[in-house]
Structure 1
């Protein structure tokens, strides 16, 4: 498989506290990567470093063979990398339609309308709510809107930070199951997701990467094997801590 995103020896810190230690990982075309680990393992920090919200102390981020370590978030988004924050990922006071327009902020008027229609064809539950204030919708609908906003940017790589967090079980199941359809419909080339709902996420993933204390301790191309043997995954979680 063709490599899209390559992370090489990344260190990252918040002030004097180092969170990531020499992280290296590859994301290839067509992969569905599940990034897991105990709380505080550095999963969100890694996604923030990849998208450019947190500069690495050492190491490099390469996209399609180009070093983008020094690129701004805006530049990375325009190149095809998008990041779904776990919280505060919509503007509650704006309507659904206004949030979608905000998601495609750099598109021309014609491109914006075309992209909006494409997104609404996949996220059909948003169609009757275009004039509704986003903050009045259910948790599942708000998370669907947040995902729709980043799809407005025509991403090739999606970085998702716990998209099912705080959702009711039915809504969580729907958002995870929708990812395959989204990846096909929008020609998203790879998805990297942080998710604690392993029962759902392991069925979706084609690859898992386990972080413990800011280090990669396991990479597996057989995530579904852990569905039948969850104790094997627990062993990695707890023996490495």
Structure 2
């Protein structure tokens, strides 16, 4: 069963169109990697799905329901969470306050349970709870940002480059934690990530975008890795 369906989505920013006739279906439980060169529309597509960018035309369905006219807040309450690439924490607040804010709609018991759970995924944050989030290292900030997304009990996680700017070891640690959380929640993930090898043993499908269109769709990840020509065309062959 499809948890997400996108039909004929066209979107952009003012007069600058970025997405052109996107049609996409994602099944429940899939772990989907979204790749493509900078400016190809990956982040724009995620913004349309979560509802912070209204498309020019087209329809978005979540779990069989048309959510095209719903606000981002209502989509979050329905079970969609979104990790922004930038400005994804509140640096002036403590780590604990960030987590509480992320679970603002939960009752006190559920809130405590969720905080305890995300701290089991990222145990090194336990000693940082009362410290300002803005003083965290890059890897710790991303861990907090992912934790805030996980607070929301989402059926669908939209992750926009969760390892961007991180050293290889920190990037691997963040991805491993995301994998651990997904195994426990058994939810669906759409992740933007440029390093295919970093997620190749985990994702179940790869989508490639070029110039606002989906140009590549693979479920055989090993075949895609071997077929270097497809990846080179995706990143360097767009004209």
**TM-score (norm. length: structure 1):** 0.95
Name the structure 2 match of 1:160. Answer: 159
The answer on whether the counterparts of 1:9 and 1:59 sit within 8 Å (CA) in structure 2 is: yes
Cα distance in 2 between the residues matched to 1:188 and 1:135:
31
Picking from 197, 221, 224, the partner of 1:223 is 221
Contact 1:155–1:188 (CA<8 Å) still a contact in 2?
Answer: no
Deviation digits for residues 58-111 of structure 1, max 9, x if unmatched?
A: 110001110000000000000000000011100111111000001101112222
2:79 is matched with 80
Question: What is the Cα-based RMSD across aligned positions, in Å?
Answer: 1.2
Classify the secondary structure of the residue corresponding to 2:23. strand
Which residue pairs with 2:196 in the alignment?
Answer: 198
Write out per-residue CA displacement over residues 38-72 of structure 1, whole angstroms, 9 at most, x where no aligned residue: 11000000000000010011110001110000000
Q: Which residue of 2 aligns with 1:22?
A: 21
Q: Report the counterpart of residue 124 of structure 2 in structure 1.
A: 125
Say whether the 8 Å CA contact 1:6–1:61 is kept in structure 2: yes
Please report how far the alpha carbon of residue 127 of structure 1 lies from its aligned counterpart in structure 2 after TM superposition: 1.0
Aligned match of 2:64: 65
TM-score by length of 2: 0.96
Q: After superposition, where does 1:172-187 map in structure 2 within 5 Å?
A: 172-185=171-184, 187=185
- Comparing 41-50 with 204-213, which one deviates more in the overlay? 204-213
Per-residue CA shift, 1:1-58, capped at 9, x if unaligned? x210111110002000100000011111111100011110000000000000100111
| 2:97 aligned counterpart, secondary structure | helix
Name the CA shift for 1:102/1:92 in 2 (closer, same or farther; >3 Å): same
Q: Matches of 1:230 and 1:180 in 2, distance apart?
A: 26
Q: Once the 2 structures are TM-superposed, how far is the Cα of residue 188 of structure 1 from its aligned partner?
A: 4.2
Which whole-Å CA distance do the structure 2 matches of 1:204 and 1:140 have between them? 21
In structure 1, list runs of 5 or more residues that go unmatched: none
Distance in 2 of aligned mates of 1:90 and 1:30: 27
Deviating 4+ runs (over 4 angstroms): none
Kept in 2, the 8 Å contact 1:80–1:154? The answer is yes
- Alignment partner of 1:153: what SS? coil
Instruction: Give the equivalent residue in structure 2 for 1:38.
Output: 37
The one-character-per-residue Cα deviations of 1:120-162 (angstroms, maximum 9, x if unpaired) are 1222111111111111111111101000001111111000000
3-state DSSP class of the match of 2:34? Answer: strand
Rounded Cα–Cα distance in structure 2 between residues aligned with 1:27 and 1:6: 7
Secondary structure at the residue paired with 2:87?
coil
- Distance in 1, matches of 2:29 and 2:54, equals 27
Q: Is the 8 A contact 2:218 2:224 kept in 1?
A: no
